[in-house]
A and B are shown apart, each in its own frame.
Chain A
């Protein structure tokens, strides 16, 4: 046997022995496109890393695709090119679009059933999953990050202005704003995500509907109805209070955050998931309280609705992939993972158990008010008006609402005309969505 042949034989034996071993090491890769940048992006990576370390069959590979709209657009483009990821994070207003795409998304419950993965819906917070269920109760996507608007207030400024407790009603809100102005603050209150906080949550909080067909849950032929007298009156009062700078508009989305952290405004209505930002940017003591109640509309509050995103599973991959996806979904729902996520981000935990774990650990004693969001969501059993909303083209409808409200804040339109026009323009968008998805 010459030496060359010998080496071939050795090589062959090597391959024979090593091939099965390396096959065992070849993990099935699961791609996860998400929209969590900065600190929260790091946390997403940690979740994936911990999951990968917890077993050796699957490897979740998270990749950041920009903000929510970028991520959704990227996955849709990828789907059209047949290169869709396995899991994609989609924000709550994209729910109707994803739901309508029956050929593109694989409903969560079906994935779990096909993979024989145990799945019990009752462990999840009702206010969270009700947003993402079909009218028949099927859960389509996995809630990942959910928050709800709360009233943030500057405790130091409240002390200086002699305000004893955070306002519970809109009348008290304006009184507190006046007191803050008198004490030298340059503005009383402001809010972020105005469509979400002032239209969608205002309506849920007072058990008012914002559209027909159970806020769009039971059909695409829904129409918006939020141009009600109470809401018009509320928007008008807020706009008028700009005169004395009780309210100052700070822009769309979260661009009003600096007005609160710089102690210009003493109160800020925005997402509960701002803990990390406030801890690093605000050098005053802040508190959280329930959203103010409009006593003209309701005597007690109903419950607030969530914002945030869920994980959707895309169709068109191998069964083996979906087995791994199902395992990952189970891992995500684990109480230790959820309570860690909740405590470090300010998003609400998606399971009841994770909240209990956090409570048992004394997290809410160390961080008073950190459970305000959960309390708001669980205040009452969600009604058809407060379980969420499901409108197609909701991204554009929110833009319409932003535009019309900006005209009110800018003094160029009355609250009544603006809300009427927002409903008319919004309904056109709904009809267009119905048309595009009717086949």
Chain B
């Protein structure tokens, strides 16, 4: 047992945390509180007539089967984006880890897309897949594939998944590569001397040792797919055709900023906020416990 040491009351610790607390209050607690309050109101866009309706905005959402569809679509989209971007980044990192010559160039190129703004990334994919002018659609046409993501919901979903995945690979790649390079070389060399093949070495040594990174990235990627893909979806499909790429965060934007239904939009934001809290709790549980490597 450590001996407890008592200090006199001091203002210093409070002063030191004050900026952080102030930032949290101004940029998180206050707007979040506003959003929760707004979600209990039905209001005209200008805020001239307000009615306090308590949970009615939520009831309306959960009575709407289209809202459940949006949930399903969001999970589908997020799982695909997270698994593709993790899988591809893992493969690229495993390969880049072994490259000796020109490794810096490879890495730089692989990290590049991360510097591209989501809206611009979206615009790139829109140009490539434009049903009329796109380079790739022109190519697909040769195989009698009449690509039209403006009409075909499946193709639209595939396109936003591709664009969102492409954007996130770099980030995952960086973390995977760093994790792999922190594995002591002696472990891998010992396995090699014992006659383990490269793939055996990967699955038995490297992959288990980077599990904490993988879990961390999984959570980050899910949050990314839930929220940060907004820009890509906005540019590529605008949620269409027929809602087939409208995920939760896009619906909240659409109902609030385009439809000017602030009550419903605030209720949706509050639901999203609850989901982030849950994901964060899960993340802390896993990260704190540190998946065991022994």
Residues of A within 8 A of B (CB): 69, 72-73, 76, 79-80, 97, 100-104, 249-252, 255, 258-259, 262, 264, 393, 395-396, 399, 402-404, 406-407, 409-410, 412, 432, 435-439
| Alpha-carbon separation in the docked complex, A432 to B255 (Å) | 12
CB distance from B44 to the nearest CB of A (A): 5
* B contacts with A, residue count (CB < 8 A): 32
6 A-B pairs closest in CB distance: A439-B49, A251-B150, A406-B242, A406-B241, A396-B259, A403-B242
On whether the beta carbons of B242 and A436 are closer than 8 Å, the reply is no
Contacts known (A69-B257, A395-B259); A252 close to B240, Cβ less than 8 A:
yes
CB distance from A84 to the nearest CB of B (A): 9
On whether the beta carbons of A437 and B49 are closer than 8 Å, the reply is yes
Specify which chain A residues have a CB less than 8 angstroms from the CB of B44 in the assembled complex.
97, 100-101, 436-437
On whether the beta carbons of B48 and A399 are closer than 8 Å, the reply is no
Q: Does B169 contact A (CB under 8 A)?
A: no
CB distance from A44 to the nearest CB of B (A): 23
CB distance from A317 to the nearest CB of B (A): 16
Specify which chain B residues have a CB less than 8 angstroms from the CB of A250 in the assembled complex.
131-132, 150
Q: Does B97 contact A (CB under 8 A)?
A: no
On whether the beta carbons of B132 and A258 are closer than 8 Å, the reply is yes
Specify which chain B residues have a CB less than 8 angstroms from the CB of A412 in the assembled complex.
242
> Which chain B residue lies CB-closest to A76?
B45
On whether the beta carbons of B150 and A436 are closer than 8 Å, the reply is no
What 0/1 pattern do residues 234 to 251 of B give for CB contact below 8 A with A?
A: 000010111100000000
> Which chain A residue lies CB-closest to B47?
A80
> Which chain A residue lies CB-closest to B48?
A103
> Contacts A97-B44, A250-B132, A436-B51 given; 16 further ones with Cβ under 8 A?
A69-B257, A72-B260, A73-B260, A79-B46, A80-B47, A97-B260, A102-B48, A249-B151, A251-B150, A396-B258, A402-B240, A412-B242, A435-B42, A436-B44, A436-B261, A439-B49
On whether the beta carbons of B151 and A393 are closer than 8 Å, the reply is no
Residues of B within 8 A of A (CB): 42-51, 130-133, 148, 150-153, 238, 240-243, 254-255, 257-261, 263
> Which chain B residue lies CB-closest to A80?
B47
On whether the beta carbons of A73 and B151 are closer than 8 Å, the reply is no
CB distance from B35 to the nearest CB of A (A): 15
> Which chain A residue lies CB-closest to B263?
A436
Identify B257's interface contact among A73, A403, A406, CB under 8 A. A73
| Alpha-carbon separation in the docked complex, A399 to B240 (Å) | 10
On whether the beta carbons of A258 and B258 are closer than 8 Å, the reply is no
| Alpha-carbon separation in the docked complex, A269 to B254 (Å) | 27
| Alpha-carbon separation in the docked complex, A435 to B153 (Å) | 33
| Alpha-carbon separation in the docked complex, A409 to B38 (Å) | 38
CB distance from A238 to the nearest CB of B (A): 13
30 contacts between A and B (CB under 8 A): A69-B257, A69-B258, A72-B260, A73-B258, A79-B46, A80-B47, A97-B44, A97-B45, A101-B44, A101-B45, A102-B48, A103-B48, A249-B148, A249-B150, A250-B150, A251-B150, A264-B132, A393-B260, A395-B258, A395-B260, A396-B255, A399-B254, A403-B241, A403-B243, A406-B151, A407-B242, A412-B242, A432-B42, A436-B51, A437-B44
On whether the beta carbons of A439 and B242 are closer than 8 Å, the reply is no
> Which chain B residue lies CB-closest to A402?
B240
| Alpha-carbon separation in the docked complex, A262 to B50 (Å) | 50
Identify B261's interface contact among A249, A393, A406, CB under 8 A. A393
On whether the beta carbons of A104 and B254 are closer than 8 Å, the reply is no
> Which chain B residue lies CB-closest to A435?
B42
Specify which chain B residues have a CB less than 8 angstroms from the CB of A76 in the assembled complex.
45-46, 260
On whether the beta carbons of A101 and B48 are closer than 8 Å, the reply is yes
On whether the beta carbons of A393 and B259 are closer than 8 Å, the reply is yes
On whether the beta carbons of A410 and B49 are closer than 8 Å, the reply is no
> Which chain A residue lies CB-closest to B255?
A396
| Alpha-carbon separation in the docked complex, A91 to B241 (Å) | 23
| Alpha-carbon separation in the docked complex, A73 to B132 (Å) | 32
Specify which chain A residues have a CB less than 8 angstroms from the CB of B148 in the assembled complex.
249
Instruction: Among A69, A97, A403, find the residue whose CB has the most chain B CB atoms closer than 10 A.
Output: A403
Specify which chain A residues have a CB less than 8 angstroms from the CB of B132 in the assembled complex.
250, 258-259, 262, 264
On whether the beta carbons of A103 and B153 are closer than 8 Å, the reply is no
Specify which chain B residues have a CB less than 8 angstroms from the CB of A410 in the assembled complex.
151-153, 241-242
Contacts known (A104-B48, A406-B242, A410-B242); A436 close to B42, Cβ less than 8 A:
yes
On whether the beta carbons of B48 and A252 are closer than 8 Å, the reply is no
| Alpha-carbon separation in the docked complex, A104 to B46 (Å) | 7
CB distance from A193 to the nearest CB of B (A): 14
Identify B238's interface contact among A72, A252, A258, CB under 8 A. A252
Specify which chain B residues have a CB less than 8 angstroms from the CB of A395 in the assembled complex.
258-260
CB distance from B49 to the nearest CB of A (A): 4
Specify which chain B residues have a CB less than 8 angstroms from the CB of A255 in the assembled complex.
150
> Which chain B residue lies CB-closest to A410?
B151
> Which chain A residue lies CB-closest to B238?
A252
CB distance from A345 to the nearest CB of B (A): 25
| Alpha-carbon separation in the docked complex, A262 to B259 (Å) | 34
CB distance from A394 to the nearest CB of B (A): 10
CB distance from B13 to the nearest CB of A (A): 37
Specify which chain A residues have a CB less than 8 angstroms from the CB of B152 in the assembled complex.
410
Specify which chain A residues have a CB less than 8 angstroms from the CB of B240 in the assembled complex.
251-252, 402-403, 406
Specify which chain A residues have a CB less than 8 angstroms from the CB of B260 in the assembled complex.
72-73, 76, 97, 393, 395
On whether the beta carbons of B49 and A438 are closer than 8 Å, the reply is yes
Specify which chain A residues have a CB less than 8 angstroms from the CB of B51 in the assembled complex.
435-436, 439
Specify which chain B residues have a CB less than 8 angstroms from the CB of A264 in the assembled complex.
132
> Which chain A residue lies CB-closest to B60?
A432
Specify which chain A residues have a CB less than 8 angstroms from the CB of B254 in the assembled complex.
399
| Alpha-carbon separation in the docked complex, A412 to B51 (Å) | 39
Contacts known (A399-B258, A410-B242); A80 close to B153, Cβ less than 8 A:
no
| Alpha-carbon separation in the docked complex, A251 to B244 (Å) | 14
CB distance from B287 to the nearest CB of A (A): 38
> Which chain B residue lies CB-closest to A408?
B242
Specify which chain B residues have a CB less than 8 angstroms from the CB of A252 in the assembled complex.
150, 238, 240
Specify which chain B residues have a CB less than 8 angstroms from the CB of A249 in the assembled complex.
148, 150-151
> Which chain B residue lies CB-closest to A97?
B45
CB distance from B53 to the nearest CB of A (A): 9
> Which chain A residue lies CB-closest to B256?
A73
